[in-house]
Amino acid sequence: MILNEGLEFGVGTVVVLLSLAGLLHLLPRLGAAGRWLSGCCQRAPGLDLVVTVFTVLPWLAGGWWLGWRGLLAGVAAQVVTIHVWSFLHERFHSRAAKGPRILKVLNARVGRPRNHAALWVTALAVPVFWLVRVAEWIVYPPLILLVRFPRYKQGEWVNVSRQKFEGLVGWDLIWCLYCDWMTGIWSLGTEMLRNVESFWCPIRFLSAKKCENCRIDFPDLDGGWVKADGTMADVARVLEEKYPENGRPYGWFGHPSRCGSGKCGTDDG
């Protein structure tokens, strides 16, 4: 009985996901309203809903209904959906599928089984990125009100556009869209963390190697943070200098809100 219910849930999920994918393909062909709705689905917050429906919702629904069996059925349904969609998409775009492709080059480099296995391993990170995205929605906004962190137009970070790249089809497209989505999330999260680090902990790390590794993502490390052998008086002085009572957003030291008169990173911009 439970096995039958799991199978029914899995099959139903495949049908729903493929139907929704078909609708997303159809939207741009439905006039101005369809193009507008399609655009909304390609950037946050609309993209967040689309990604949730295609990723974590089948797991949550299956787990709630049938427990761990439903969870597994949801995952299996997603795997089947990706295979079916990729097959159909490549058939509808047969000329592009026969031409130069990322898949072909990398399969030749490392072998088809290893390349596909590695791709599926990266899929395990989906819930991690989804949770990061949830944190960007529910953790960061209160900091804007509480400590005047800068606001962000999240749709400028979290969006997808690689579906418009000519010749990108099937497996190449689905994984490029995955990277498109997760890169925006990770970049926005890093930007938010820059504000957090410089506001609460503007102190360089004692480990020179860690400083070297982190300076790309946290430019303030070399642009204002106190040296590891400094004093708390130095830290207090940096905070007083970088966060004056001028009513402006308290972004990280190199944040655009501090840029003015050609002087970025100062408090007179």
User: pLDDT tens digits for 84-111?
Assistant: 999 999 999 999 999 999 999 999 999 9
Within this chain, do residues 160 and 180 fall inside the same structural domain, yes or no? yes
What pLDDT was estimated at residue 3?
61
Within this chain, do residues 127 and 95 fall inside the same structural domain, yes or no? yes
Tokens for 58? Answer: 């089948």
Read off the pTM: 0.90
Last residue of a domain, one of 149, 166, 192: 192
Tell me, what DSSP letter sits at residue 159? B
Within this chain, do residues 124 and 20 fall inside the same structural domain, yes or no? yes
Give the pLDDT mean for 232-238: 97
| 3 state DSSP class of 226 | strand
- How many Cα atoms occupy the beta-carbon half-sphere of 156 within 13 Å? 4
Within this chain, do residues 186 and 212 fall inside the same structural domain, yes or no? no
How many domains is the chain partitioned into structurally?
Answer: 2
Within this chain, do residues 214 and 109 fall inside the same structural domain, yes or no? no
> Do residues 159 and 51 lie in contact, with contact meaning Cβ atoms separated by under 8 Å?
no
- pLDDT digit string (tens) for 118-176? 999 999 999 999 999 999 999 999 999 999 999 999 999 999 999 999 999 999 999 99
Instruction: Please report whether residue 178 resides in a domain.
Output: yes
Tell me, what DSSP letter sits at residue 164? G
Within this chain, do residues 135 and 245 fall inside the same structural domain, yes or no? no
Within this chain, do residues 111 and 25 fall inside the same structural domain, yes or no? yes
What pLDDT was estimated at residue 254?
92
Instruction: Please report whether residue 267 resides in a domain.
Output: no
Instruction: Please report whether residue 265 resides in a domain.
Output: no
What pLDDT was estimated at residue 262?
41
Instruction: Please report whether residue 67 resides in a domain.
Output: yes
Instruction: Please report whether residue 263 resides in a domain.
Output: no
Tell me, what DSSP letter sits at residue 249? -
Within this chain, do residues 151 and 218 fall inside the same structural domain, yes or no? no
Within this chain, do residues 150 and 120 fall inside the same structural domain, yes or no? yes
What pLDDT was estimated at residue 245?
86
- pLDDT digit string (tens) for 244-265? 987 789 999 999 988 753 445 4
Q: Which residues pair with 159 in a beta bridge?
A: 43
What pLDDT was estimated at residue 161?
97
Instruction: Please report whether residue 269 resides in a domain.
Output: no
Within this chain, do residues 160 and 207 fall inside the same structural domain, yes or no? no
Whether residue 198 has pLDDT greater than 50: yes
Instruction: Please report whether residue 13 resides in a domain.
Output: yes
Whether residue 268 has pLDDT greater than 80: no
Within this chain, do residues 186 and 206 fall inside the same structural domain, yes or no? no
Tokens for 86? Answer: 């990729």
Last residue of a domain, one of 192, 221, 249: 192
Within this chain, do residues 139 and 217 fall inside the same structural domain, yes or no? no
Last residue of a domain, one of 192, 213, 235: 192
Cα Rg of the chain (Å, integer): 23
Give the pLDDT mean for 35-47: 97
Print the domain residue range for 54: 2-192
Determine phi and psi for 115, rounding to 5 degrees. -65, -45
